[in-house]
Amino acid sequence: MDQKRHTRERMIVRGRDRGARLLLKGRRVSLFLSRSRMGLVLVGLLVSVSSYKLGWFIAGNWALLGFFLCFLGVANVHNRLERRLRRLVMWIDIQESNLARLRLDWECIPETTLSLSSEHPYAADLDLLGKYSLLRLLDTTVSRDGQALLVAWMTRQHPLSFDQWESRQKLVRVLTSLRGLRDRIQLVAHCLSPDPIKTDRLESLLENSEPVARLGSLLLAASTLAALNMVLFVFWLLGGPGYWIVSFLLYALLLLVTGRRVSHVFGRALDLHLELDKLAAVIGIFEKRSYRRYPALQAMTDPWRNENSRPSVAIRQLARVCSGLSLKAHPLLHIAMHLVVPWDLAWTWHLQKVCNRLRSVLPDWIVRLAIVDAAMALATFAYLNPSYAWPLRRPEGNATTIGISGTAIGHPLLAYEQRISNDLILEGLGRVFLVTGSNMSGKSTFLRTVGINVCLAQAGGPVCAASWEWSWLRIQTCIRVGDALEEGLSYFYVEVKRLKNLLVAMGDHREAPVLFLIDEIFKGTNNRERLLGSETFIRELTAGRGLGLVTTHDLELANLDKELAHLANVHFQETFGDMELTFDYRLRPGPCPTTNALRIMAMEGLPVPETHSGP
C-alpha cells in the first residue's frame, strides 16, 4: 500500500467529515432561528394587539418596536449563518471533488469544457482530452485563461528554456504545499459563479473602448440641463410658469443625439460586472498576504501588491461602472433614470476614465492569474498524489544522454490498485525499443504511460514514477488510428500519413528530438508488405533524430537487433492455466517467447486447429 497516498486520503476524508458535521449543526441552528423569527412575529403581533385592545397604546407601540428590532437582529444573524452554510457546502463539494480525483472516481469528477484540434499529434492517443482524460483529472482551474494555459503546457512542442521550465516547476511545488490557499481560491470563485472567469470580453472592452469625442463637455451640458429641469419643475409645482417643458425638450434632444455615440458601449459592458467581481475576489486573496517565504509565488504576485492602488479595488470600480451601464437591459427603469439624470453619459465617462487607468496593467494581471491558476491545477494534482516524483530535466547538447530514465513508471489514469509500474531507460538518438507481446499484455498502455508522463514532466508537474530524468522531447504518436470517412481515407492510409508526419518531424534539426510511440506498425495491410515496410521504417527510425518505442505482433522483426545496434527487444507476456490467461504487465528484455491469439479464440468457442485447442 502507498502509505503517503493513504495518509493524504484520510486527511481529506477527515476534513470533509468535519465539515459535514459542522453543516449538520449549522442547519439545526438555522432551523431554530427560522422558527424563532416566526415566533417573534406571532408573539409580537399578539402582545401589540392585546395592548392596543386594553388601551395601552404607548406600551403597545414600545412592544411593537421591541419585537421588530429583535426580529431584525435574529434575521441578520440567520442570514449571516445561511451565507456561511452555503460556503461550507461548496467547501465540502471541493473536498469531494479532490477525493474523486485521488480515487479516480470518474463519475464524481466534474466534466471539463476543454477542447483541442483533432489534428494534434498526440492528444487523442495519450488520452489528454476526453471523458476519461488527464486534463479532466487536472482541471481545477477557476479561469478560462487558466484552462487554456494548462492545455498549452500539456501539449507544448517547442522547448522551454531550462530557467523557464525550472521557474514553472518551482511555482507548482510551492503551490502544492499551500493547500489552504488553493481551496480558498476555488471556494471564493465558486461562491460567485460555478463557471470559469472569462476575460475575453473584458480584454475586448479595454482594446476597443474608443474615446467619445467631447464626452466631458456633453456630460456637463446634460447634467446642467437635468439640474435646471429639476429646479424649473419644482418652481412649476409651486405655481410658477411651465418653463421646465422647454428645458426638458432640450435635455431629451441632447440625450437622443449623444445616445447613438455611446450605444456601442452597452453591448460590451452588459453583465460584465459578474466576471469582474469574480476576478477582483480571486486577485484580492493574493493582495492580502506576502509570500516572502516562497520566492516563486512572491515574484508572480508582486505586481498585485506593488501597484499604487490595489488591483481588486480598481477592478471592482470597473465592475460598478459595467453594472451601471447594464441598466439599459431593463428598459422601463432605464427610461425612468434618464428622466432625472444623464445616466448613460455619466457611466460612459466613468468607463473611459477607468479603462484608461487599467489598459496598461490589467492584461498583465490576467496573464499572471492564468499562470498561477494553471500552476494551482498541477499543484492540486501533486498534492493528491504525494508519492509521485518531481522530474529532473537534463541539459540538452549531449546526444548520448537525450531520452528518458525512470523507475516504477505507472499510468496516472489507472487506479492505484490496478496500476503496474515498470522501469525504463531509453537514451541516445536513434534508440528504438521493439516491444512484442501477446494480445492484452499491456503494450499499448505502456506506450501511453511513457507519453503521458513526458507531458506531465514538460508541463512542470509531477510524474507517476518513483524517479524520472529526461531531456526535452517532441512527442509524435501513432496509436489510435481509424478511417477518416469525411476525407475518404482508409485506416492504412491514415496510418501512413501519420508516420510520414513523424519522419518529417524527426528531420527538423532546429527543434528538440522526437519521442515516437508507434503501436502495431502497419497493421492495416497484408503480412508480407507489413513486414517489409516495418523493417525499412524501423531502420529509418534508428538513423533519425529521435528515439522511442514501436510495438508489433510480427516476431520476425525481433531479428533486426542483430543488424541494428540502436535497436533492443523488450516484451510483455502472459501465463496460461486453468483455461485462464493471466497477465503481470511487466516489461522484460528480449523478444516475446509466447503467443495467445489461438488460445483466446478457443476460450471463446471459435474454431481453431486441433493442436491449439487446449492449454
| H/E run at residue 518 | strand 514-518
Q: Which residue shows C-alpha cell 481545477?
A: 140
pLDDT at 14: 95
pLDDT at 598: 66
Count the Cβ atoms, other than its own, within 10 Å of residue 560.
17
Its pTM stands at 0.88
Quickly list DSSP for 121-161: SSTTTTT-SSTT-HHHHH---SBHHHHHHHHHHHH--SPPP
Cα separation, 368 vs 178, in Å, equals 18
Residue pLDDT, tens place only, 487-533: 546 677 888 888 999 999 998 888 899 999 999 888 877 778 888 88
Whether residue 373 contacts residue 142, with contact meaning beta carbons closer than 8 Å, is answered with yes
Quickly list DSSP for 205-245: HHHH-PPPTTHHHHHHHHHHHHHHHHHHHHHHHTT---THH
The CATH code of the domain at 392-612 is 3.40.50.300
Q: How remote is the C-alpha of 481 from its chain's centroid?
A: 28
Quickly list DSSP for 439-500: TTSSHHHHHHHHHHHHHHHHHT--BSSSEEEE---EEEEE-S---BGGGTB-HHHHHHHHHH
Amino acid code (one letter) for 402: I
Residue pLDDT, tens place only, 237-281: 888 888 888 888 888 888 887 777 677 777 667 778 888 889 999
Phi, psi of 467 (to 5 degrees): -155, 155
Scored b (16 or more CB within 10 A) or e, 600-615 reads bebeeeeebeeeeeee
Whether residue 443 contacts residue 583, with contact meaning beta carbons closer than 8 Å, is answered with no
Cα separation, 78 vs 71, in Å, equals 10
Cα separation, 283 vs 552, in Å, equals 52
Phi, psi of 2 (to 5 degrees): -80, 105
Max CA-CA distance within the chain?
Answer: 118
pLDDT beneath 70: ranges in the chain: 1, 208-211, 261, 267-268, 307-308, 482-490, 576-579, 594-605, 608, 610-615
Q: Which residue shows C-alpha cell 461562491?
A: 191
